[in-house]
């Protein structure tokens, strides 16, 4: 009886060990790495220095391409347009006078040509001034979500400084690092499985970038131990971005062929 119990225990133990071994082998084919969500933000700024007058959006708002975002004070530009309009009016009168004199044979062709050139130049300056005035109202260059606002109404924005940051859905990317030993298993264009808190269970991304240079590289000599510390940046993109947030930690699983 005792021998039978011992035999049963050994058989059960061997079966359990075999099952654990098979499970470990199955899991060993799936390589999982830690990473985070990152994005290529679009920083929207005025063309020229000015004071923010109106702000049509708030952080977190979703906007369509061409939607109004903010306006900058346009007093100087409006004054310049008025000056250029007066200049066009005056040069047009000069052109009409030179044309009439030329037709009556009392004026020269050179005077007419000079008057026409002056009119064209004045019209070009007016068009430039009107464009500067129009650009005081800024529209969204793309559909996306307002991530951050840096200047509020009443604050002066230097030229080239962004008033807000816009995140188009297609600009979200997933970043993770793989070791040098695992790098050959990553293929550009290959699908990877992604998991994170609040994400879809079946979230899939496509590898879009594999770095050619390693991170944390020792300066001179690569021993075997140092080579094991080398990691390479990988980026992947997904069309299912609704639950992803910039800076959010993720786990990325490579499904290698068995």
Q: H-type helices in the chain, by residue range?
A: 2-28, 75-103, 109-134, 224-227
Same domain membership, residue 237 and residue 180: yes
* In a domain? residue 241: yes
Instruction: Please say whether the beta carbons of 173 and 60 come within 8 A.
Output: no
Q: How far is CA 8 from CA 3, 17, 32, 124, in A?
A: 9, 14, 38, 98
Question: β-strand 68-72 against 50-55: which pairing, if any?
Answer: antiparallel
User: Global pTM?
Assistant: 0.67
| pLDDT tens for the chain, residues 1 to 258 | 334 443 433 333 433 333 433 344 444 456 788 888 988 999 999 999 999 999 999 999 999 999 999 999 999 999 999 999 999 999 999 999 999 988 888 888 899 999 999 999 999 999 999 999 999 999 999 999 999 999 999 999 998 899 999 999 889 999 988 888 888 888 898 889 998 887 777 788 999 999 887 765 444 444 445 555 678 888 898 888 877 888 888 888 886 554
Q: What are phi and psi of 110, to 5 degrees?
A: -65, -40
Coil, helix or strand for 86?
helix
188: CATH: 2.40.30.170
Same domain membership, residue 180 and residue 240: yes
Same domain membership, residue 184 and residue 236: yes
Q: What is the pLDDT of residue 8?
A: 33
Helices (H) and strands (E) in the chain — how many of each?
4, 14
* In a domain? residue 146: no
The last residue of one of the domains, among 100, 126, 152, is: 126
* In a domain? residue 137: no
* In a domain? residue 158: no
Q: How far is CA 42 from CA 110, 132, 142, 148, 209, in A?
A: 51, 22, 9, 11, 20
* In a domain? residue 2: no
Residues with Cβ within 8 Å of residue 256, at least 6 apart in sequence: 29, 30, 31, 185
* In a domain? residue 219: yes
Domain count, the chain: 2
> Which residue segment(s) compose the domain that 190 sits in?
29-40+168-255
Residue with tokens 């260059």: 141
39 forms beta bridges with 172
Same domain membership, residue 122 and residue 198: no
- The count of other CB atoms within 10 Å of the CB of residue 249 is 10
- The count of other CB atoms within 10 Å of the CB of residue 54 is 12
* In a domain? residue 236: yes
Same domain membership, residue 172 and residue 240: yes
Query: What is the C-alpha separation between 231 and 252, in angstroms, rounded?
Result: 15
* In a domain? residue 1: no
Same domain membership, residue 193 and residue 114: no
Q: What is the pLDDT of residue 215?
A: 66
């Amino acid at each position: 009886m005792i021998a039978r119990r011992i035999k049963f225990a050994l058989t059960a133990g061997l079966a359990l060990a075999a099952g654990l071994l098979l499970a470990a082998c199955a899991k060993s084919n799936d390589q999982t790495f830690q990473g985070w969500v990152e994005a290529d933000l679009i920083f929207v700024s005025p063309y020229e220095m000015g004071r923010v007058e109106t702000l049509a959006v708030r952080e977190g708002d979703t906007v369509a391409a061409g939607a109004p975002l903010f306006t900058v004070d346009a007093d100087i530009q409006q004054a310049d347009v008025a000056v250029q309009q007066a200049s066009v009016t005056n040069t047009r009168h000069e052109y009409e006078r030179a044309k009439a004199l030329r037709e009556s044979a009392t004026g020269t062709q050179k005077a007419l040509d000079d008057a026409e050139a002056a009119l064209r130049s004045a019209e070009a300056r007016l068009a430039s001034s009107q464009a500067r005035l129009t650009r005081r109202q800024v529209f969204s260059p793309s559909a996306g979500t307002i991530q951050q606002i840096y200047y509020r109404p009443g604050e002066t924005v230097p030229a080239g400084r962004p008033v807000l940051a816009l995140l188009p859905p297609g600009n979200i990317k997933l970043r993770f690092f793989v070791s040098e030993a695992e790098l050959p298993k990553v293929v550009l264009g290959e699908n990877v499985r992604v998991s994170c808190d609040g994400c879809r269970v079946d979230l899939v991304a496509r590898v879009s970038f594999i770095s050619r240079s390693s991170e944390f590289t020792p300066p001179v000599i690569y021993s075997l131990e140092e080579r094991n510390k080398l990691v390479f940046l990988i980026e992947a993109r997904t069309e299912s971005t609704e639950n992803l947030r910039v800076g959010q930690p993720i786990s990325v699983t490579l499904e290698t062929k068995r």
